[in-house]
């Protein structure tokens, strides 16, 4: 699975029209082509089934059969995680997605697909280029959603073989020094061309520390700004292990990006800028399509919201009443607020940042967003009013 495809699939899922049949969303960890915890999956399915009766139950069972059939025959041997979305009924839908990164074991049934885990995955693993340099070889790889998807370039100079055959040792040493410099310059040219042709935004250098230092010193400015990290590796380290190390480093970098987004949010909130925070204000901004970037704490767990299925109003800050306060209908349904937030954000094409640890974000209610614009009626704070009013609203929203 590549990032580009994941983006498309997430959008498909976020915009899937509801039918009168519910969708099973299922995230599973895999090892060697099998579920790592079959019992937990069976248990989750059993408890979901208990809550369903009549047609809902038979629809659920039909959708589940499709999932089971797929798991039996289609799981890739090197997949570490799979997400499956299945709906039966008059408008059937089925989408399986396999990954080389683990996913949590989690099953749900709802009117729309649950995409939160996919969004989190998309935010954590991007695509980037790794250049592995040793004294003997240079390899340039593309890593996409945690897996090497393409060897972009490889060279193993045959230089060493010539020692003793044609050259004296001194001649060789001298030649090697000059050659290393030239070698590095050539490789950087290749790297530059590959990165701009592939539209890559991130680079990690790995390998022999002397070689990576040499490469780093020679990087032109526009590549230096794309450099995420330099990861030392002994020449005997396997490519798989080097890539593993770069993934860890990349995830740390992604966390730094997330914290920068939080800083921007805090700054905007404290100065009455283009941002809101807390469950209710963020939800409303998403509904109005005002959001540029949605920022969620990984630990953000708001109470359930509810929606009236007759007049469609949605509420995220009051307990579910007996009857809809707008139209008086009693057909209300509960929904997961963070799921609905990421779904709205995906539909609008917003950036989404999922933040691992942040006390600042926790104090703001665990969720916030940077806005594209403000509605006229939202210019309520006069210039003389203290900015902490905005902050106060935030804590009240949670
Ligand atoms: Zn209503």
pLDDT digits 0-9 by tens, 53-75 = 999 999 999 999 999 999 999 99
72 contact partners, CB below 8 Å, separation of at least 6: none
Q: Would you tell me how many other CB atoms lie within 10 Å of the CB of residue 301?
A: 10
User: Does the predicted TM-score (pTM) go above 0.95?
Assistant: no
pLDDT of 325 higher than 70: yes
Residues 49 and 114 in one domain: yes
Q: How far is the CA of 318 from the centre of ligand 1 (A)?
A: 14
pLDDT in tens, 88-98: 999 999 999 99
pLDDT of residue 256: 86
Q: Strand, coil or helix: what is 382?
A: coil
Q: Is the pLDDT of residue 160 over 60?
A: no
* For range 128-154, the mean pLDDT: 81
Does residue 364 sit in the same domain as residue 233? Answer: no
Task: Count Cβ neighbours within 10 Å for each residue of 198-213 and write b for 16 or more, e otherwise.
Answer: eebebbbbbbbeebbe
Q: How far is the CA of 308 from the centre of ligand 1 (A)?
A: 5
CA of 107 to the centre of ligand 1 (A): 29
| 260 and 398 fall within a common domain | yes
Q: Can you give the residue range of the structural domain that contains 261?
A: 255-304+334-398
Helices (H), the chain: 3-15, 38-50, 54-73, 116-124, 169-198, 209-218, 221-224, 239-270, 279-287, 337-348, 359-363, 388-397
Whose tokens are 């490889």? That residue is: 154
Say if residue 291 is in the same domain as residue 388. Answer: yes
CA of 397 to the centre of ligand 1 (A): 23
Task: Examine the fold and report which residue of 124, 150, 181 is the final residue of a domain before the chain moves on.
Answer: 124
pLDDT at 149 over 80: no
% of the chain beyond a pLDDT of 90: 55
Q: What is the mean pLDDT of residues 243-263?
A: 87
The verdict on residue 92 lying in a domain is: yes
Q: For 22-35, what is each residue's pLDDT tens digit?
A: 999 999 999 888 99
Round to whole Å and give the CA distance between 48 and 51: 6
**Taking a C-beta distance cutoff of 8 angstroms, is the pair 100, 145 a contact?**
yes
**Tens digit of each residue's pLDDT (9 = 90 or more) over 304-321:** 999 999 999 999 988 899
User: Number of H helices and number of E strands within the chain?
Assistant: 12, 17
Dist. CA 378 → ligand 1 center (Å): 26
Q: What is the per-residue pLDDT for 44?
A: 93
Determine the distance separating the centroid of ligand 1 and the alpha carbon of 337, expressed in angstroms.
Answer: 18
Are both 393 and 262 inside the same structural domain? yes
Contact 168, 243 (CB under 8 A): no
For residue 363, the domain's CATH number is: 3.30.1330.30
On whether residue 311 sits in a domain, the answer given is no
Q: How confident is the model at residue 240 (pLDDT cuts 50, 70, 90)?
A: confident
Output the pLDDT for position 152: 74
Where does a domain end: 74, 105, 124?
A: 124
Residues 118 and 165 in one domain: no
Number of domains forming the structure of the chain: 3
Distance 53 CA to ligand 1 centre (A): 25
Residues 390 and 346 in one domain: yes
**pLDDT of 156 over the 70 cut:** no
CATH code of 220's domain: 3.30.420.60
Which tokens in the block code for residue 19? 């039918």
Q: For residue 177, how many other CB atoms are within 10 A of its CB?
A: 9
pLDDT at 377: 62
CA-CA-CA-CA torsion sign (32, 35, 36, 38): negative
Cα–Cα distance between 398 and 363 in angstroms, integer? 10
Co-location of 9 and 116 in the same domain: yes
- Residue 133 in contact with residue 203, Cβ under 8 Å? no
Q: Is residue 205, in this structure, part of any structural domain at all?
A: yes
C-alpha 98/C-alpha 75 separation (Å) is 8
CA dist 113 and 14 (Å) reads 7
Q: Helix, strand or coil for residue 393?
A: helix
CB 130 within 8 A of CB 240: no
Residue 333 half-sphere exposure, CB side, CA atoms within 13 Å? 10
The rounded Å distance from CA 116 to ligand 1 centre is 27
In a domain, 310, yes or no: no
pLDDT in tens, 202-211: 899 999 998 8
Rounded CA-CA distance 318/205 in Å is: 51
Residues 326-353 have a mean pLDDT of: 93
For residue 35, the domain's CATH number is 3.30.960.10
Higher pLDDT, 380 or 187: 187
User: How many Å apart are CA 325 and CA 16, to the nearest integer?
Assistant: 28
């Amino acid at each position: 699975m590549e990032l580009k495809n994941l983006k498309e699939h997430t959008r498909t899922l976020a915009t899937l029209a509801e039918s009168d049949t519910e969708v099973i969303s299922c995230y599973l960890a895999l090892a060697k082509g099998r579920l790592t915890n079959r019992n937990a999956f069976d248990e989750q399915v059993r408890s979901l089934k208990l809550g369903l009766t009549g047609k809902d139950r038979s629809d659920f069972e039909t959708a589940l059969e499709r999932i089971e059939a797929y798991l039996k025959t289609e799981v890739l041997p090197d997949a570490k995680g799979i997400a499956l979305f299945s709906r039966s009924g008059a408008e059937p839908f089925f989408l399986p997605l396999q990954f080389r990164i683990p996913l949590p074991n989690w099953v749900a049934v709802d009117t729309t697909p649950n995409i939160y885990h996919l969004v989190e995955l998309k935010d954590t693993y991007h695509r980037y280029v790794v250049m592995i340099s040793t004294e003997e070889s240079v390899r340039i790889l593309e890593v996409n959603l945690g897996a090497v998807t393409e060897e972009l370039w490889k060279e193993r100079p045959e230089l060493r073989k010539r020692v003793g055959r044609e050259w004296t040792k001194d001649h060789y040493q001298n030649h090697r020094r000059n050659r290393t410099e030239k070698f590095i310059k050539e490789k950087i040219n290749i790297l530059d061309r590959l990165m701009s042709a592939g539209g890559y935004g991130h680079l990690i250098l790995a390998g022999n520390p002397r070689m990576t230092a040499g490469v780093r010193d020679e990087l032109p400015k526009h590549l230096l700004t794309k450099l995420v990290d330099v990861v030392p590796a002994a020449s005997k380290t396997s490519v798989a292990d080097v890539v593993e190390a770069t993934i860890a480093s990349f995830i740390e970098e992604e966390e730094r990006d997330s914290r920068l987004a939080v800083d921007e949010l805090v700054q905007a909130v404290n100065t009455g800028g283009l941002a809101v925070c807390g469950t209710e204000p963020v939800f409303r901004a998403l509904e109005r399509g005002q959001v540029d970037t949605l920022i969620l704490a990984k630990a953000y767990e708001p109470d359930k919201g509810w929606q009236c299925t007759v007049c469609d109003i949605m509420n995220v800050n009051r307990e579910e009443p007996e009857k809809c306060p707008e139209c008086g209908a009693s057909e209300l349904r509960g929904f997961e607020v963070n799921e609905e937030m990421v779904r709205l954000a995906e539909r609008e094409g917003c950036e989404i940042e999922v933040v691992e640890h942040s006390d600042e974000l926790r104090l703001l209610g665990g969720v916030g967003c940077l806005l594209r614009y403000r509605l006229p009626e939202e210019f309520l704070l006069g210039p003389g009013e203290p900015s902490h009013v905005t902050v106060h609203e935030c804590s009240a929203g949670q």
